[in-house]
Amino acid sequence: MDELPEEESTGTPAWVVTFADLMSLLMCFFVLLLSFAEIDAIRFKQIAKEMAKAFGVQREVPALEIPQGTSPVFQHFSPGRPDPTDLDEIRQTTTDTAPYVEREPNTEAAADDAAKVTSEYTQRLEQALKQETDSGQLEIRAYPGRKQIIMRIEERGSFPSGSAELTFAMVDLLYRMGQVLTDIPGDLTVEGHTDDVPISSGRYESNWNLSADRAAAVANALIEAGPLDEDRFRVMGLASTRPRQPNSTPENRALNRRVEIIVDLSDDPSETPTTLEELPPDILLDTDDVPRETLTW
């Protein structure tokens, strides 16, 4: 007896029920998220307005009147009224002019300008190095007549005794000084000074070597801190040949051990004093034991 064929199943596949259940759950999940969310209406309006401007949506450009140009001449000046003359002739008028006389340069005005520039640069240095100037480690003086700024750094706290190695405080001072000197024009002269006591260190044969090394160490620190152009520098080791005070007491010897940085703001090299005798009188000190010609300030 022949077997009857199996009847084909009809209706929805089983996976559709699972898929519909999953979609229903996802829809409920996002509806809950939307119900918990808060919409900033003001920000939404701002964003919608910017989007409308960017894409040209709902943008209206009224063109009720034809744009008319304006002229600055008509806004600020009024045209003159022409007055016709009854005479049919041309007249020419002449005026007597004085001959051209060449005027002498105003030296007083130039000196005032130089004084203002020198004072401005001096104030910048004093503000950046206020801590050292208040403690007495650094002294800054300006001479507008010579267009110079002179900075004197005491040996105290700057170098170990008989050494040219910079202390950490000295490196910090020179770093801030170099940052300011980058905006100040002019040549820089670094001078090293010592007292008259012969040095007994095995590294240095005399005070000349020590003063030159200290001046070079200061110049190198300024060049790295700026950075400053090496062509602006001149390094000099003067040993004990330029004392501030007579080397008669330990206190005076401590004053003579120093490093001086001279900023030359003059455009003409001839304006810069090159020898001690050419320095202005106010730089030299009044002492009883040492002639004025052998002292710097």
Give the domains, in start order, of the chain with CATH numbers.
109-294 (3.30.1330.60)
Please indicate whether residue 270 or residue 166 has the higher confidence score (pLDDT): 166
- Indicate the pLDDT class of residue 158, thresholds 50, 70 and 90: confident
d(CA 258, CA 155): 5
d(CA 125, CA 181): 8
Please indicate whether residue 103 or residue 206 has the higher confidence score (pLDDT): 206
- Indicate the pLDDT class of residue 175, thresholds 50, 70 and 90: very high
pLDDT at 123 > cutoff 80: yes
pTM greater than 0.75 (yes/no): no
Average pLDDT, the chain: 76
Mean of pLDDT values over 20-43:
84
d(CA 116, CA 108): 12
Mean of pLDDT values over 31-36:
84
Close Cβ partners of 158 (under 8 Å, ≥ 6 residues apart): 137, 166, 167, 169, 170, 173, 259
- Indicate the pLDDT class of residue 274, thresholds 50, 70 and 90: very low
pLDDT by residue (tens digit) across 37-96?
A: 776 667 777 777 777 766 665 555 555 555 565 655 555 555 556 566 555 555 555 555
